[in-house]
Structure 1
């Protein structure tokens, strides 16, 4: 148990040193934290599934107003959870505080997925590690190329599924033409007799 505590303490010291180094070498760099890791720590005390939506609503808030709205909802639900989440410094992992120049999202899943694939290679000597990673990347590119070459559909499978669902849902819509006073085209939507009726185009005809 003492060894584990020492390891965590040593890791904490290293992270502090890394933050100081980044602030010195890259003073203008924007510092962000993976929201999934923040949630992993936060849910140790607030692990009930009812808390999960509150966290991710805050994390994916696009504006400060939306962020405040979701934080107020959490405050009404549980003051202690609100204080704990506020202490986690949301400005580093909530989208509402991200600059417009940044391109990364809340979670660094892409980096973690790559790190997982090279986990065994990282145990090798430096040159062997690089060669192993290079081979893994080439094999992956080759597998993806063969898979894409055999694919005969116009769109990827996931996109095709979304389009097909939209096509099925669209059968409940009706096209309506409304004749008004002038010649203009105005897209809009209306509902008639409790049925989904989409007004794709409003045609206004010149009278007289």
Structure 2
């Protein structure tokens, strides 16, 4: 991956997270109880910090990095897929892990939205990392933070530089198929529509090109 492209990716990830934090704060809910198997949940609030897990789960980033390394070693394309998961999660009500939720009696999840169906992959990687974190630090690390850290590690493993990831995202208890269909760029969208969807979140046409691969 060329350095200029990697730099753009880093900037746009940070811009995307910043632009969605206010929205996430307005719509903050309790922790996600269904994005992983045991139904316990990780909740750290919506105040982001570089040392949220310093005392409660100091090995959190090491566990995420190890999981991403194993996945990318097995399938190099997984690096781009994990970055894409974070991108698609942030486009719907902020970076809150709602993309990971399966359908239930209360809502239809975002996985089957047009822009996501038969497009996203890597859910099993996040599930595996979450399981390891639950063994090491039960009910501590949110799924939304796992997505953010995994996106950073994916860029690093693709040959790019690293950066610090602020953590403290609260997992959503709900998902929105409608917002996923409306907010996310679809493969059938024309160029003006695509540009507008990115501009809605403070991202440029160049950002759109980089994230779209």
Shorter-chain TM-score bucket reads under 0.3
Question: TM-score if structure 1 supplies the norm length?
Answer: 0.24
Higher strand share: 1
Question: TM-score if structure 2 supplies the norm length?
Answer: 0.23
Name the larger-Rg structure.
Answer: 1
Higher helix share: 1
Give the structure, 1 or 2, with the largest relative contact order (CA under 8 Å, sep 6 or more).
2
